[in-house]
Amino acid sequence: MAVISDVDRPPARKRFAGAMRRPFVAIARRWRRSIQFRVVSTTFLVSAAVVALLGLVVLQQVRSGLLQAKLRSSVNQELIGLSSAQQSLTSSGNAVTALTNTVKLLSPPDTSRRQPGAYEVAAFQVLSPGVVAKNQPAADVDFRVSSIPDALIKAVSTGNARYYYAYTMMQYTDGYQVPGLAIGSMVTTPSNQQYEIYYVFSLQQEQQTLELVTRTLLVSGVGLVALLAGIAWLVTRQVVKPVRVAAEIAERLADGRLQERMTPKGEDDLARLAVSFNKMAESLQRQIRRLEHLSRVQRRFVSDVSHELRTPVTTIRMAADVLFEARQRFDPASARSAELLQNQLDRFESLLADLLEISRHDAGAASLEADVVDVRDLVRHVVADTEPLAARRGSVVSVEMPAEPCLCEADGRRVERILRNLLVNAAEHGEGRPIVVRVAASEEAVAIAVRDHGIGLRPGEAALVFNRFWRADPARARSTGGTGLGLAIALEDARLHGGTLRAWGEPGKGSQFVLTLPRRVGFPFAASPIPVEPGEEERSAEPLASGAPPEGGAR
């Protein structure tokens, strides 16, 4: 059981940031991979925005309508009350008594106080222009006269309009408060005494109505958005589900289950898609089976011909050896013919061996005799065998490898054959320039790179060099008598190990082949210790002159 110490545990801030980021990463991944999720999410967001905008407009219109209606009714009631206040204030000689009687006259019954639609009345005596006695009695001692805005009092005192109004908050001494509408007017008695009369109407009923409309719009909007999202989900599901089924069946077809088919339903476009998909699958199945049959016949033909040719070739070899040994007694033309016969028989036997090997790979009969080997020893052995050929071509082979062992499970014979093919090709196409063999290892894999500075590869040829019998320049003569199957066999040998063989090249800058093998056969590796494309400094470096090994290179 693994124990994570406090040192290994990430900081709390990073853990919190990771936990906060995880849902967004999941949503982004779902957005990229699901058409249905994108359609439903877009429909939900757009409909929510539209419903919210319409809801705000409706609420604004309802609020404006309620306030306008309340203002009209309140103004009418206030104007009606002013005539009664005029008479009450004129009939009393004492200002305080007149104010008290006027407030009682205009105020509603006590039973209707603090009810929806209720109102309060306050009356002030004007002592001088712009100055009023706010300590005058109001309708109810519980009602705070301070609820009347100072800006409204100033407007009534200094203005000449018939009435002024302002929205306020009706407050009482016990803490109770509701929104209100305050309307004020100036009253002048025959004795030229001025009074200010204020009506403060409760907007509680309008507030309750607005809250009811808000709740209704909110519930309706949420329901409408959910309904639209559900409709979008159902509609997209009808379209996306057949596409998902087609994708799953296509994946199974790619895995080799060629009998998989879609089930057409109905006669719509999706049904026609299913029918067309099934026709395509049937056509592919016929073609694949036909190609498989031709491939089996071809592999069988190559294998049979290769085996059947071995017996006559062996007989011809015996006769050719006799002639080759006795060529000194022949005339020059006959001796030369014996030498050519010997050379071509060597090449023919090599071709037969390669054909037999490639037929084993095609038939899946190639076996791997893996053992723990040091790749450095294999490289030294192959370099020692191919150095004479490279020297004849004017190339110098240098080796760069680590001092510590590079161990891995591999079939030494097959790895040596891969390296021999790569080095022979490098000598053949290296134009007499240096050849560098590099060895590197990581925890997961071991890599061997063969780099030449010859003619290189044109764009697109790096993917073709492993094709059978493919040549970059068909007119170019082979000095080594290759069969054209070496790289194809090398690629199959690398795959048999669970490794890779990749190529890179540029015209005039040479080429590089990188063989990567896992430390253990069949175990995957994330990356090769040597990149297939050389670094920029190596690509642009001038190759050393022939015969001079690079500094630090081991021969």
Mean pLDDT of 399-405: 91
Nearest residue to 358 via CA among 500, 481, 484, 472 = 484
pLDDT of residue 545: 39
Is CATH 3.30.450 what the domain over 85-209 is classified as, yes or no? Answer: yes
Question: pLDDT, tens digit, for every residue of 75-98?
Answer: 888 888 887 887 777 776 666 677
Task: Identify the top-confidence range among 129-133, 141-145, 249-253.
Answer: 249-253
DSSP string, 13-43: HHHHHHHHHHHHHHHHHHHHH-HHHHHHHHH
Proportion of the chain above pLDDT 70, given as a percent: 81
pLDDT of residue 377: 92
pLDDT of residue 92: 64
Is CATH 2.40.160.40 what the domain over 371-476+483-540 is classified as, yes or no? Answer: no
Phi-psi region of 456 (alpha: psi -120 to 50; beta: other; left: phi over 0): left
What is the value of pTM for the model shown? 0.47
Percentages of the chain per state (helix, strand, coil), in multiples of 5: 55, 15, 30
Are the CB atoms for 388 and 480 separated by under 8 Å? no
Rounded distance, CA 408 to CA 525, Å? 13
Higher pLDDT residue, 107 or 387? 387
Nearest residue to 515 via CA among 438, 452, 455 = 438
pLDDT of residue 367: 73
Q: Where are the domains of the chain?
A: 85-209, 270-363, 371-476+483-540
Question: pLDDT, tens digit, for every residue of 306-317?
Answer: 667 777 777 777
Mean pLDDT of 373-402: 90
Question: pLDDT, tens digit, for every residue of 332-345?
Answer: 888 888 888 887 77
Q: How high does pLDDT run on average in the chain?
A: 79
Q: Is the pLDDT of residue 50 over 60?
A: yes
Q: Is the pLDDT of residue 437 over 90?
A: yes
- What is the band of 518 on the pLDDT scale with cuts at 50, 70, 90? very high
Mean pLDDT of 126-154: 71
Question: pLDDT, tens digit, for every residue of 225-279?
Answer: 889 888 888 888 877 777 778 778 888 877 777 788 877 877 777 778 788 888 8
For residue 131, the cross-strand partners are 128
For residue 198, the cross-strand partners are 122, 184
Query: Maximum CA pair distance of the chain?
Result: 165
pLDDT of residue 36: 77
- What is the band of 170 on the pLDDT scale with cuts at 50, 70, 90? confident
The residues, ordered by sequence, that sit 6+ positions from 122 with a Cβ below 8 Å of its Cβ are: 103, 136, 138, 139, 143, 145, 148, 197, 198, 200
Rounded distance, CA 259 to CA 278, Å? 10
Question: Which amino acid is residue 84, in one-letter code?
Answer: S
Question: Hey, which bits of 273-387 come out as E strands?
Answer: 371-374
- What is the band of 5 on the pLDDT scale with cuts at 50, 70, 90? very low
CATH number for the region 270-363 comes to 1.10.287.130
Are the CB atoms for 414 and 503 separated by under 8 Å? no
Are the CB atoms for 451 and 512 separated by under 8 Å? yes
pLDDT of residue 479: 46
CA torsion sign, 380 to 386 to 391 to 395?
negative
DSSP string, 355-367: HHHHHHHHHT---
- What is the band of 383 on the pLDDT scale with cuts at 50, 70, 90? very high
User: Tokens 């309708």 sit at which residue?
Assistant: 139
pLDDT of residue 79: 84
pLDDT of residue 157: 83
Are the CB atoms for 357 and 489 separated by under 8 Å? yes
Are the CB atoms for 279 and 271 separated by under 8 Å? no
